[in-house]
Amino acid sequence: MPPPLLFLSDIHLTFGGTPLLQGIDLSVSRGDRLCLVGRNGSGKSTVLKIAAGLIEADRGERFVQPGATIRYLSQEPDLSGYETAWAYVEAGLAPGDDRHQARLLMTQLGLTGDEDPMRLSGGEARRCALARVLAPNPDILLFDEPTNHLDMPAIEWLESTLAGLGTAIIMVSHDRRFLESLSRSTVWLDNGVTLRLDQGFSAFEDWRDAIVEQAAEERHKLDRKIAQETKWLHYGGVTARRRRNQGRLRALKDLRRQRREQTRGPETAKMTVTEGDASGKLIVEATGISKSFGDRAIVKDLSLRIQRGDRIGIIGPNGSGKTTLVKLLTGALAPDDGTVRLGANLQQVSLDQRRESLDPSWTLREALTDGRGDTVFVGGTAKHVTGYMKDFLFATEQAGTPTDALSGGERGRLMLARALARPSNMMVLDEPTNDLDLETLDLVQEILADYAGTVLLVSHDRDFLDRIVTSVIAAEGNGRWLEYAGGFSDMVAQRRAAAESEKSVRPETKARGQKPAAPSAIQASGGASRSSPDGRKRKLSFKESHAHKTLPSTIAALEERIARLQALLADPDFYARDPAAFDDAASQLETATAELAGAEHEWLTLELLLDELGGES
């Protein structure tokens, strides 16, 4: 077995008198892809900080292989103190690191480097932080919620980039699709200890459920034994209390202590939604609405009808106008053209992405009660604020904590607590999954599944969209929005089917004198003309034709090479036998993966061109 790059052994840590970590173990070898999962408050972010060397444990050992480099991406990167985005990224580079690679990454992530860090959006700040940790090509990457605030193109870019790296990765994320795509092993942090599964996240939940079921059976057996021993104690009288039976009494106390420890683990939030009176059947009817800012069209000639009970997902790249569209559909913003008609008796609650509706001067108690006493009204029933706090996993002593001192996950739960307490028949949720753990997300999904009202959901979480929405409104560019039935995966399938259908239709030859057909997407983007100067239909050049014929075999060879290299690197003894050869193989794998992506892109481009030429090469 190769020596680990990093290991944590028997790590203990106590916060505020409460044990958080009680002997965790974690080992990371070259090329590992670990996802660290557990409930909010279980200590996942703390484990990453200990691994990064930012927090020192009370007890235990942290070992990093000499010369190994580690980069850590926090939930909320701090860009303050830097004049430009490039200055922030450059500060993360060590002597000898490739600054050209850092610049290239920033360009790929849509940044120039001249941006003011204090004026960046949440997504731009996240992309800047990603460039900073990826540019040095470290041996270990520690990711705490890397997809927060990223749009789908950025998430897919990150997945593709990480898949081609030989870097070891430990990731904490609420994004199931991201974890399923990248993880190869899963570490479950529960009750202050870790359990490891040498499979990716897709196998985790069945494995966890089996462990929970087994633990329940063991608790049942323990309960029966405790009952038997308690009966002996109660009815044994003096005999039970004789000196020779004191060991049996001590054993009973140990059994009771074991039972307490088994049931002590992290609690699950107890969320309930306060539903308002039923709305009318019609929720929103938009007819030919358009909205522009300056010369930029955000929404162009959109007609849409939303009815009671619909769950609408709104997706698109950052900056495409999702928030503007929501404001138009909810009446918060007037369209330039067209009309929006809202249904009767609408009671709307909103959850904004950046938690901006939270006054930073509020305490937790004031945020839940709007500064009015100690009572929260939930479903028309008065409830003491501390009891409602506990339902959302807040401790009583946190009542006076300022909201700006809460963690990202705590702010997320607070926003949910505020929203769910208010009577509603329409929810507008803007990135509600940010910073929430998987168990809390499961509960939110259950609540929305049972919710009788209407939901408008802005999200980049593909799995969450698939589980929640009945249709998706997607940005198509230039102010165009299209609605697709079903969830995110259904939208992708419909787009693919439409593209294949369009591809299979061959344009008929136009009679002389007719107007030429509208240019294709490739022509519109600067591609070559489809006819020669003398008007004859052009064919693929010899170079293009040769590439089109030979690229499939090139792609197959690259796929075989990648498979061989992956099998070689999967050998646990390879690194110990020959570290230099291991590094060379990892480098070859990264190069081959990039070459494969380039070859596939070139072949697809030529295939589309050939299709537009009517199949003539």
- CATH number, domain with residue 324: 3.40.50.300
Give the three-class secondary structure for 396.
helix
Q: What is the pLDDT of residue 233?
A: 54
pLDDT at position 573 is 73
Q: Are residues 597 and 489 in the same domain?
A: no
Write down which residue in 197, 228, 262 finishes a domain: 262
Q: Are residues 178 and 29 in the same domain?
A: yes
181 lies in some domain:
yes
Residue 412: CB atoms within 10 Å: 25
Neighbouring C-beta atoms of residue 84, cutoff 10 Å: 16
The confidence score (pLDDT) of residue 533 equals 39
Ordered mean pLDDT values, 10 residues apiece, the chain (617 residues): 87 84 94 91 91 95 95 92 95 91 92 93 92 95 93 91 92 93 94 92 88 73 64 52 53 57 53 72 94 92 93 90 93 95 89 68 86 78 84 82 80 82 88 79 81 90 90 92 91 83 57 38 32 48 74 83 80 75 80 78 69 56
> What are 27's strand-pairing partners?
7
The CATH number of residue 552's host domain is 1.10.287.380
Cα separation of 436 and 145, whole Å?
A: 10
- The CA-based angle 463-170-113, given to 5 degrees, is 85
Beta strand spans in 316-396 (E): 337-342, 348-351, 375-378, 381-384
pLDDT value of residue 527? 35
**Residue 275 lies inside a defined structural domain of this protein:** no
Residue 529: inside a domain: yes
CA distances from 203 to 39, 139, 146, 190, 272 (A): 17, 26, 21, 17, 29
Do 202 and 83 belong together in one domain? Answer: yes
Same domain, 465 and 378: yes
- Mark which of 163, 184, 206 sits at the end of a domain: 206
Backbone angles phi, psi at 196, to 5 degrees: -115, 135
Q: Are residues 234 and 170 in the same domain?
A: no
Domain presence at residue 238: yes
* Torsion sign (Cα): 485, 487, 488, 493: negative
Helix (H, G, I), strand (E, B) or coil at 264: coil
Count how many residues are written for the chain.
617
Do 187 and 247 fall within a single domain? no
- Helical residues (DSSP H) of 112-236, grouped into ranges: 122-134, 152-163, 176-182, 204-235
Residues 534 and 576 in one domain: yes
Is residue 364 within 8 A of residue 400, CB to CB? The reply is yes
Is residue 441 located within the same domain as residue 533? no
Same structural domain for residues 81 and 151?
Answer: yes
Q: Is residue 301 part of a domain?
A: yes
The verdict on 304 and 368 lying in the same domain is yes
Answer with the one of 470, 493, 516 that is the final residue of a domain: 493
Contact 201, 177 (CB under 8 A): no
Q: In Å, what is the CA distance from 591 to each residue of 50, 164, 587?
A: 33, 8, 6
pTM score above 0.75: no
276 domain-assigned: no
Co-location of 85 and 127 in the same domain: yes
Instruction: Judge whether 499 lies within some domain.
Output: no
Tell me: do 239 and 372 sit in the same domain.
Answer: no
DSSP state of 67: T
- The residue range of the domain holding 352 is 282-493
Provide the domain count of the chain. Answer: 4
Has residue 1 been placed in a domain?
no
